[in-house]
């Protein structure tokens, strides 16, 4: 699995960060950083949920 963000679409709502904080982080400038672009198996279900929950559909998964 690989997760990516479309920075032009992301509005820094932080939904993903709330669901998988070890994978997603917002910086002081409200830019989303993916800390683990290829998340380990134990967090992949939460990452999938975070991607589905993004209000702007700015996240994508490659399985």
Q: What per-residue confidence (pLDDT) applies to 32? A: 97
Q: What per-residue confidence (pLDDT) applies to 34? A: 98
Q: Which domain holds residue 20?
A: 2-62
Domain count, the chain: 1
> Are the C-beta atoms of residues 2 and 61 closer than 8 Å to each other?
yes
CATH number at residue 40: 3.30.70.20
> Are the C-beta atoms of residues 51 and 16 closer than 8 Å to each other?
yes
Q: What per-residue confidence (pLDDT) applies to 49? A: 98
Q: What per-residue confidence (pLDDT) applies to 57? A: 98
pLDDT in tens, 27-55: 999 999 999 999 999 999 999 999 999 99
Which of the four pLDDT bands, split at 50, 70 and 90, describes residue 2?
very high
Q: What per-residue confidence (pLDDT) applies to 15? A: 97
Q: What is the pTM of this model?
A: 0.94
């Amino acid at each position: 699995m690989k997760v990516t963000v479309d920075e032009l679409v992301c509005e820094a709502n932080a939904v993903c960060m709330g669901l998988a904080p070890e994978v997603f982080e917002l910086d002081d400038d409200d830019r989303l950083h993916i800390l683990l672009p290829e998340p380990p198996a134990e967090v992949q279900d939460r990452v999938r949920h975070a991607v589905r929950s993004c209000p702007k559909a700015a996240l994508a998964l490659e399985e």
